[in-house]
Structure 1
């Protein structure tokens, strides 16, 4: 897929989304563009807040949405420039500045008295204005993003930052080409490149850790001045932190009190007291000078341990006006292979090991969790029923890793791509954050869903990790089909909300998650022995009319509840993040029609179906285990046997299985024995077994 193909597909996606959702093309453009930016970790989340107006001195202002990164208190504000033109439109420097000025004028109006007094309460823009005003003293940086379906002019190189009060505002243009590049980058995210000479004359002094280098990596030990680490963090913000670490810290205390105390009271002891920072990068540039080696440039720089240290340095300087000149930090930086597949796994393993003292469990490294892998395998294996007279089945594409759907098409011919898209329609793409959103809504956690994609995903990941450890067979084909059915229900509810007369272009995401949760709650309370039959939705690939009718009433009740003037928090968006809001919504006394029984099924039937699905999953898991054991081969199992006997890691039952494995292919372990052998192999690796890894 080249740039032109991407743009053509992008514009078609906007048209189809606008038609399906029933909103304008510009709104669909903003939705799709920001989804790419969230996926690329440019934005932590996004909240729609379209508003245009005319302020003092007849200045026109506009905003399309925002998100406040509560980890580093960067206020991201988005403004859109969408034409939908098939031709290649160029955005000039003067046009870009004019659009940015409208966003700057909006901020100016938000901090003034006129807009604050005149704007209608209980609207998304009113929430944004209230958020800006209440956090004005805490905001450390503004980032203004212009998203456009045009091409940025070649004459635009650097856009100088602006000042809002005394706070810096960085300007970024995200044109169609920049979106394409980040989508098809090796990492699937925006690379962070650091020129260390821009912060310190020579770069960062370093020593290569001799004898540690392998084909996969080499490591360097450095001492980095605290003020430089704070400068880098101030510029890049939480993007500097590796994704899993950022997700983990965002749910914990971001700034450590002990670290702060050391900075303020004994800064010269910081190096001795602090554990330092671990980072990874690709393509390090090392210069040999008379007084030693210096790292001058790093590509895709990511802090994988020491996020609290980094944030604390920046915060202490910002909030406490601390002088960091006497603070020095030890840093281990590991240069890794530029190959995306190799580097991704290596970064996760380094990050997991580096953060072991912080209780960052496997849920925090969820992209490689076996749950994810199984959902991906099921999605590639089973077909969804054909609908609408089509003569072929389709699949729901589960995106286990960021950008898989687009990456799969990258090297396809036109005919191959057409075939792929026909079998895996874009509307049937299911991301891991989508899954977390629909499942947590159904679990009765709309207040968690409303806290944003990152927080919600971490909550879901922790739940999955616990449940998987208890019994992984419940996550089977039936679970996947139900997840798809919930996704269909979720999207259908979005469509319902959009077409209601009371809908005022705001809080749709909150209304939908709360409505799904309330629907489930009402069914449980009024039909305690029954559940909605998700298999009906899966088989039809659509939502029955009887459910639609109930959702029309439910969505209206939810909207009225979350925007009730008596709510405990003025800001509706913030109110929806509180469990108290869910308690209010749950108290709605809506009587469901008896007609809904047509789509309900007895819980005994569900339990029976789940039992069969678990049996099937055991069988599938057993076959997969046998395949892996056979592929590993008799010679490798002989080496395993020698190791575990010396280490005394084996039980009589597993020893019997091992005796069979070393006779492959004359004898074959059964499925149960194979699963036990794989468990033994994992145990052996954890005890230091270094033979060939089983993939």
Structure 2
């Protein structure tokens, strides 16, 4: 990759991370980066808890956090504030200790939180729920991995040679031990895996260049499990080879602990806790572990390259490039969580088939993986919706965005492929004109599309989760496995744009930072929209509201004032009915939405004369 590519990426991120007054905001920068990290499976959702905390005295700083979908991995985000200047004169980093200093600020936070050394933080501070969690027995039990993600607008380089060269700085994983005594009881110890990840301009520019394709996951087995894996070669063809092996369950548990959902990047099924088939997996581990290998279908793994070696006439697998579990992801996760619950997995073994595709073409690899997933005898059937990487209906939607002219005469830009807009800007003879024609508020990605579309429904908790869960809900709605689904026509497009305007306007009304209603915008907005949907869905009012928004391309002052009242109420109801002090995380649970929509407070508000006036046309 050329230096010019990172310069372009830097300029784009600086411009898109400014508020309405033209000032760059660290929270907006993270919001810009999160969808890119979701594309590459670094995070499970683009949703983040913005919890800016800075203590110069203690040399502590974090910008936000998120917890992965299965709950065992806490991801801490730090923005490197040394490289936020718009000047392009000094943004190169060649020394590891520059990044070390930033990581250490977040590591000090974790250590201090676990040891309850930050007790002076006010209850109203957004960071307080995380502090309470980390300093509790529950938190020490829940989290196994702390991943520190440093977001920096610097380019990591080497100055050796005549020209500056881009390079990557990797950090080795570390095991940190913590001991704590809770309520005077016996001291408890916990080992946490610390992972450091630098998300610099090199990394971000690569995502744009690859249109969101994840950086291939390379697994070096000695680094993760301390040994190589004995295998036998089952096939060796010109463009394909296959290995067979038997894996001890602790190996799979360690791999899942280190890489989590990255292992399953092309296997879109999510772990379904211990329900259905997974409950059976757990029962076998508990009651008949030695029979697991007979009862379970095993794993199918794909890779693009394998490094092997012989030792005492046996063949061993040292590493795999682009390692992916395409069948057996639920088995892997179930084994990990069984061990976490205290079950003995030492006698559990799993058969694995490892297929190496000797092709450099990503399309050929994707086709191979889709066919393996579709035809494998899996524990839970993979639907055709899961396997489709490019929906024809998204192509139709892209076409509508290019042809339908809104009443204002200003079209919207649907970025179906990651980096599509920036690519068009650079190809254009007048890139600035294109930027003026399609400012950020007139553009949307397929991930945002799913969120805006699904908020107008009865599942705001899934909208809050974001990521693949809400995108899958959107795809299954418009293009179900059985039936024709929803027609993607002009009427659909107009209502979709109205939903986008409604969602984004409500985000503005809620606000950010000191002037915001609270710290729960990412939950309060979809919850409030779902309330409007529920109370207007029995009549035609909901459709009329969307039609009016499309025609005006804005919301009336009266409706905005009403929505502000609703958002104030929803903010309080989320806190009142949440069964956890971490309101943002708990708002991902369906139980909260059920409690709120049945609450007397919301019902009285929605049945009030002000609601009837604002929502009737």
Cα gap change, 1:356 to 1:306, in 2 (>3 Å): closer
CA distance in 1, matches of 2:542, 2:71: 46
How far does the alpha carbon of each residue in 1:178-216 deviate from its partner, in whole angstroms, 9 at most, with x for none?
222233237611321122455575554232336xx586x
Q: Which residue of 2 aligns with 1:632?
A: none
The equivalences for 1:238-317 within 5 A come to 238-245=261-268, 247-250=269-272, 253=275, 256-264=278-286, 266-287=288-309, 291=313, 294-317=316-339
How far does the alpha carbon of each residue in 1:453-509 deviate from its partner, in whole angstroms, 9 at most, with x for none?
33333333444444x744445332211221122112211211111179762661111
Shift of 1:595: 7.0
Q: Which residue of 2 aligns with 1:347?
A: 369
Q: Which residue of 2 aligns with 1:571?
A: 582
The equivalences for 1:39-118 within 5 A come to 39-45=39-45, 46-54=47-55, 58-71=57-70, 73-82=72-81, 83-85=83-85, 86-87=87-88, 88-91=90-93, 92-113=95-116, 115=118, 118=121
Cα gap change, 1:23 to 1:40, in 2 (>3 Å): farther
Q: Paired residue for 2:609, among 576, 585, 591? A: 591
Shift of 1:334: 4.3
Q: Which residue of 2 aligns with 1:394?
A: 411
The equivalences for 1:371-382 within 5 A come to 371-382=393-404
1:248 aligns to what SS in structure 2?
A: coil
CA distance in 2, matches of 1:169, 1:49: 21
CA distance in 2, matches of 1:201, 1:258: 30
Shift of 1:591: 3.4
Q: Is the 2:121–2:128 contact (alpha carbons within 8 Å) kept by the matching residues of 1? A: no
2:598 aligns to what SS in structure 1?
A: helix
Cα gap change, 1:330 to 1:13, in 2 (>3 Å): closer
Q: Paired residue for 2:194, among 142, 164, 169? A: 169
2:18 aligns to what SS in structure 1?
A: helix
Structure-1-length-normalised TM-score: 0.73
How far does the alpha carbon of each residue in 1:349-400 deviate from its partner, in whole angstroms, 9 at most, with x for none?
322333665133234345444433433343344344555xxxxx5342142x
Q: Paired residue for 2:444, among 411, 426, 430? A: 430
2:106 aligns to what SS in structure 1?
A: helix
Q: Which residue of 2 aligns with 1:235?
A: 258
Shift of 1:556: 1.9
Q: Does 1:189 align with 2:214?
A: yes
Cα gap change, 1:480 to 1:39, in 2 (>3 Å): same
Q: Does 1:558 align with 2:573?
A: no
For structure 2, the 5+ residue unaligned runs are: 159-167, 179-190
Q: Is the 1:72–1:311 contact (alpha carbons within 8 Å) kept by the matching residues of 2? A: no
CA distance in 2, matches of 1:241, 1:264: 25
1:144 aligns to what SS in structure 2?
A: strand
Q: Which residue of 2 aligns with 1:545?
A: 557
CA distance in 2, matches of 1:471, 1:441: 22
Q: Is the 2:71–2:142 contact (alpha carbons within 8 Å) kept by the matching residues of 1? A: no
Q: Paired residue for 2:149, among 145, 150, 153? A: 145
2:60 aligns to what SS in structure 1?
A: strand
How far does the alpha carbon of each residue in 1:30-60 deviate from its partner, in whole angstroms, 9 at most, with x for none?
21122211222101123223232449xx413
Shift of 1:294: 4.5
Cα gap change, 1:529 to 1:193, in 2 (>3 Å): closer
Q: Which residue of 2 aligns with 1:32?
A: 32
CA distance in 1, matches of 2:385, 2:274: 15
Q: Is the 2:39–2:212 contact (alpha carbons within 8 Å) kept by the matching residues of 1? A: no
Q: Which residue of 2 aligns with 1:631?
A: none
CA distance in 2, matches of 1:76, 1:288: 39
Q: Paired residue for 1:124, among 126, 129, 147? A: 126
1:79 aligns to what SS in structure 2?
A: strand
1:190 aligns to what SS in structure 2?
A: coil
Structure-2-length-normalised TM-score: 0.82
Q: Is the 1:142–1:167 contact (alpha carbons within 8 Å) kept by the matching residues of 2? A: yes
Q: Determine which structure has more spread, i.e. the larger CA radius of gyration.
A: 1
The 10-residue stretch of structure 1 (110-119 or 44-53) with the greater mean CA deviation from structure 2: 110-119
1:543 aligns to what SS in structure 2?
A: coil
Q: Which residue of 2 aligns with 1:331?
A: 353
Q: Does 1:454 align with 2:465?
A: no
